Structure 1
Amino acid sequence: MTITYEWRGAFDNAAVNALHAAGFNHQALEVDWLTRVQRHSLGWVCARHDGNLIGFVNVVWDGGVHAFVLDTVVAESYRRSGIGAELIAEATRQAREGGCEWLHVDFEDDLRSFYFDACGFKPTPAGLIAL
């Protein structure tokens, strides 16, 4: 199985909406992802198998040295095969090449092993205000 990864790759909004809905367990929405990422993101990584979008991660930034991983998702039938870690690895490479010095992520507890062990993030204290 050959998986391809593309930084700032072209994608169809419907494909990202379907992937996001399945990955985050919500109804499919009609989000204009392309406009969103072009406006707010340093970049994004698309993972494909046989031309089909099977993974996605968005890398937003502050316009300086901080980048943030959002919306990491892999299609259910492809999970636990290293695709998510490779999405993050490509995002990390590209953020570094883009001049960023820090890559941040927040996540739910069940993803600790993925982000810390598989992707190399280190735990840090952080704060959050629910809005």
Structure 2
Amino acid sequence: MKTTIAATAALLLTACSGGLKVIESDLQHHHWNLTAINGVAVDPEIKSDLEVAEHFSINGMAGCNRFFGSATLEQGRLKAAPLASTKMACDPITQQVETAVLHTLSEGATVNNKGQQLELVGEKYTLTYQLADWM
């Protein structure tokens, strides 16, 4: 019990003193699956995802196209510009997902990391991701 309390206290102190470092380490080396846009569930068959790797290189599936690039995290905002992507044609529903993902990442979004859930809150879209696994 004392070990658990000490570990929790250390984590809280680190979070308070580390600022954005905690967010950075929580984002990197994870694989996230998109579950909702603006609170509306995304069809799991679309399989849109996001991976954040070392030095904030990012990649994933926007909708029907893969994307990749570099991101920055400044004052709690994640921004990935410019992004490169493949250029396959999407069906209309998948294209809506793809547009929301690429727009939000390119324009920048406030990061709300809730452990197993990640929200990227942009001006137009809020993307909700579920943690899939460690990379």
TM-score calculated relative to the size of structure 2: 0.32
Greater Rg by CA: 2
Instruction: Please state which structure has a larger fraction of its residues in strand.
Output: 2
TM-score calculated relative to the size of structure 1: 0.33
